[in-house]
Amino acid sequence: GAGVSQSPSNKVTEKGKDVELRCDPISGHTALYWYRQSLGQGLEFLIYFQGNSAPDKSGLPSDRFSAERTGGSVSTLTIQRTQQEDSAVYLCASSSQYVADTQYFGPGTRLTVL
Protein backbone atom coordinates (compact mmCIF):
# COMPACT_ATOMS: atom_id res chain seq x y z
CA GLY A 1 0.00 0.00 0.00
CA ALA A 2 0.91 3.67 -0.13
CA GLY A 3 3.47 4.88 2.35
CA VAL A 4 3.83 8.21 4.11
CA SER A 5 4.04 11.07 1.65
CA GLN A 6 5.34 14.58 2.18
CA SER A 7 5.20 17.72 0.12
CA PRO A 8 6.98 19.64 -1.13
CA SER A 9 10.10 17.57 -1.53
CA ASN A 10 12.24 20.68 -1.42
CA LYS A 11 11.43 24.21 -0.35
CA VAL A 12 13.60 27.29 -0.65
CA THR A 13 12.40 30.42 1.11
CA GLU A 14 13.68 33.78 2.22
CA LYS A 15 14.36 34.64 5.82
CA GLY A 16 11.25 36.03 7.48
CA LYS A 17 8.71 34.24 5.26
CA ASP A 18 6.24 31.65 6.51
CA VAL A 19 6.28 28.08 5.17
CA GLU A 20 3.90 25.13 5.34
CA LEU A 21 5.00 21.53 5.08
CA ARG A 22 2.50 18.77 4.49
CA CYS A 23 2.37 15.14 5.58
CA ASP A 24 -0.04 12.41 4.45
CA PRO A 25 0.23 9.42 6.79
CA ILE A 26 -0.43 5.82 5.93
CA SER A 27 -4.17 5.21 5.71
CA GLY A 28 -5.55 4.00 9.03
CA HIS A 29 -2.59 5.15 11.10
CA THR A 30 -3.74 7.18 14.07
CA ALA A 31 -0.34 8.35 15.30
CA LEU A 32 1.68 10.99 13.44
CA TYR A 33 5.09 12.40 14.30
CA TRP A 34 7.24 15.26 13.02
CA TYR A 35 11.02 15.18 13.35
CA ARG A 36 13.72 17.58 12.20
CA GLN A 37 17.06 16.44 10.83
CA SER A 38 19.84 19.02 10.74
CA LEU A 39 23.62 18.82 10.49
CA GLY A 40 24.21 20.39 13.86
CA GLN A 41 21.47 18.77 15.94
CA GLY A 42 20.93 15.42 14.27
CA LEU A 43 17.40 14.00 14.41
CA GLU A 44 15.06 15.72 16.86
CA PHE A 45 11.47 15.04 17.79
CA LEU A 46 9.12 18.00 17.22
CA ILE A 47 5.50 17.03 17.79
CA TYR A 48 3.26 13.95 18.14
CA PHE A 49 -0.44 13.51 17.35
CA GLN A 50 -2.41 10.49 18.54
CA GLY A 51 -6.02 10.23 17.45
CA ASN A 52 -8.17 12.96 18.98
CA SER A 53 -5.89 13.52 21.97
CA ALA A 54 -4.10 16.80 22.58
CA PRO A 55 -0.79 16.74 20.72
CA ASP A 56 2.55 16.40 22.48
CA LYS A 57 4.28 19.64 21.49
CA SER A 58 7.23 19.24 23.82
CA GLY A 59 9.80 19.15 21.01
CA LEU A 60 8.81 22.34 19.20
CA PRO A 61 11.87 24.64 19.37
CA SER A 62 10.02 27.96 19.48
CA ASP A 63 6.58 29.52 19.19
CA ARG A 64 7.28 30.13 15.52
CA PHE A 65 6.60 26.43 14.97
CA SER A 66 3.09 25.01 15.00
CA ALA A 67 1.35 21.97 13.58
CA GLU A 68 -2.17 20.80 13.07
CA ARG A 69 -3.80 17.62 11.98
CA THR A 70 -7.12 17.85 10.22
CA GLY A 71 -9.66 15.04 10.40
CA GLY A 72 -7.16 12.76 12.05
CA SER A 73 -5.26 12.35 8.80
CA VAL A 74 -3.22 15.00 6.96
CA SER A 75 -0.88 17.17 9.02
CA THR A 76 0.64 20.54 8.29
CA LEU A 77 3.76 21.89 9.99
CA THR A 78 3.96 25.68 9.83
CA ILE A 79 7.07 27.71 10.48
CA GLN A 80 6.50 31.44 10.80
CA ARG A 81 9.13 34.12 10.19
CA THR A 82 11.68 31.54 9.09
CA GLN A 83 15.29 31.87 10.22
CA GLN A 84 18.42 30.41 8.65
CA GLU A 85 18.76 27.97 11.54
CA ASP A 86 15.42 26.45 10.49
CA SER A 87 17.15 24.99 7.43
CA ALA A 88 16.87 21.23 7.79
CA VAL A 89 15.08 18.15 6.53
CA TYR A 90 11.65 17.79 8.13
CA LEU A 91 10.56 14.17 8.42
CA CYS A 92 7.08 12.90 9.11
CA ALA A 93 6.27 9.43 10.42
CA SER A 94 3.09 7.56 11.18
CA SER A 95 2.22 4.46 13.12
CA SER A 96 -0.90 2.56 14.07
CA GLN A 97 -2.63 2.90 17.38
CA TYR A 98 -0.12 1.59 19.87
CA VAL A 99 3.01 3.26 21.19
CA ALA A 100 5.03 0.14 20.50
CA ASP A 101 4.11 0.08 16.84
CA THR A 102 6.76 0.79 14.26
CA GLN A 103 6.98 4.31 12.89
CA TYR A 104 7.07 4.52 9.11
CA PHE A 105 8.76 7.59 7.70
CA GLY A 106 8.11 9.74 4.70
CA PRO A 107 10.86 10.97 2.36
CA GLY A 108 11.06 14.34 4.09
CA THR A 109 10.99 17.96 3.01
CA ARG A 110 14.32 19.72 2.67
CA LEU A 111 13.86 23.33 3.77
CA THR A 112 16.46 25.92 2.86
CA VAL A 113 16.17 29.41 4.31
CA LEU A 114 18.25 32.00 2.48
Partner 1 sequence: AQTVTQSQPEMSVQEAETVTLSCTYDTSENNYYLFWYKQPPSRQMILVIRQEAYKQQNATENRFSVNFQKAAKSFSLKISDSQLGDTAMYFCAFMKQYGGSQGNLIFGKGTKLSVKP
Is the separation of the CB atoms in 31 and 50 below 8 Å? yes
Identify which of residues 1 and 14 has a Cβ nearer to partner 1 in the complex: 1
Residue 112: Cβ within 10 Å count? 13
Identify which of residues 53 and 83 has a Cβ nearer to partner 1 in the complex: 53
Strands (E), 1-114: 5-7, 10-13, 19-24, 31-38, 42-50, 65-69, 75-79, 88-95, 104-105, 109-113
- Choice from 38, 73, 96, 103 touching partner 1 (CB under 8 A): 103
- Choice from 43, 53, 85, 112 touching partner 1 (CB under 8 A): 43
CA contacts within 13 A on the Cβ side of 34: 31
72 binds partner 1 (CB under 8 A): no
Shortest approach of partner 1 to residue 5 CB, angstroms? Answer: 11
Q: Which positions lie near partner 1, rule CB under 8 A? A: 31, 33, 35, 42-43, 45, 48, 50, 56, 58-59, 89, 91, 93, 95, 99-100, 102-108, 110
